[in-house]
Every structure is written in structure tokens, then in C-alpha cells.
Amino acid sequence: MNALVTDEARSWIGQADDPVTVEVSRRDIVKYSISTEQTLEKYLSGDEAPPMFVAGLAREVVPIADLGPDGLAPASLVPELPLKRVMAGGVEFDFHRTVHPGDVLVFNRSLSGITEKQGRTGPLIFVTYTIACHTEAGEPVLDQKQTRILR
């Protein structure tokens, strides 16, 4: 297979976005819990956030006009690659502690890998990101690995 991933693209591995800090409010937890049809009172009252509450918490809110054709905000940490169709490749979570109102969370996202594989219908490029979330005091909350597949 021809090398689709250049040394220039590989040089992006290890690069990171600026940290994102978010203060969790009881109102945010309650809104999320209602919208995701949670049934446990600790979530509905906002005393504790459901586990997946943290997954998209650091995402930037952008105007609809700024979204791409896939409905996503423009991506950061994306080197120039020859394959352009992006698909979700999976997400892995490792939860360390629950989230409560008043927690101040810090998210650090980095590009952790770019690999090329041959699929049934042609070449694929796997781009992997690592997101570490911890409290402002440094206590681990969540480690997340996201994979995007380009074809």
C-alpha cells in the first residue's frame, strides 16, 4: 500500500489543544438529566452528573452557520490527509470519579496517533485523540480515547 500518511502528518502526533476549563452547575446537570431521560433522583436533582454528562462538556458552542456539512464544528488538531470522508471510529471511556455541581473541570485534548490500514473497500486512516479530564486540583475524572476513520 502506498504511504498515505506523510511524515508531516505524523509530526502532528503529540500536539494538543489549549486546555478547556468548565465549571459544572447544578442547572446544567438537571437539564442534561431531563433531556437524556435519566430516572435516578440524584441526577434529576442535580446532586450528581450522569457519567456521559462529561463526554461533550468541553465542546465549543458555535453558530449553525459555522458547522460543517457533517454537523460538526471545524476540527482542530487535524493534519492535511489525502482521505477526506470522516467517520466515527469509536470512543473509549475510563471514569475515575463522579461529577458534582461546583466542580471545576479541566480538559486536555491531544492527537495521539495516526495509522493507515487497508480496508475491504480501500485504504483507511485512523486518527486517535486522547482527552484527559481532571478537577482544577488535579484529581482525575475521565480519560477518553476517540478514533476517527478517514476514507
The answer, yes or no, to whether residue 75 has pLDDT greater than 80, is no
pLDDT, mean of residues 81-92: 91
104: left (phi over 0), alpha (psi -120 to 50) or beta: beta
Quick check: helix, strand or coil at residue 43?
A: helix
Q: What is the pLDDT of residues 6-28, one digit of tens each?
A: 999 999 999 999 999 999 999 99
Query: Do residues 126 and 114 lie in contact, with contact meaning Cβ atoms separated by under 8 Å?
Result: yes
Q: Which is nearest to 126 in space by CA: 107, 149, 144?
A: 149
- CATH-assigned architecture of domain 7-150: Roll (3.10)
The answer, yes or no, to whether residue 2 has pLDDT greater than 70, is no
Q: Which amino acid type is present at position 65?
A: A
* Domain boundaries defined on the chain: 7-150
The answer, yes or no, to whether residue 1 has pLDDT greater than 60, is no
138: left (phi over 0), alpha (psi -120 to 50) or beta: left
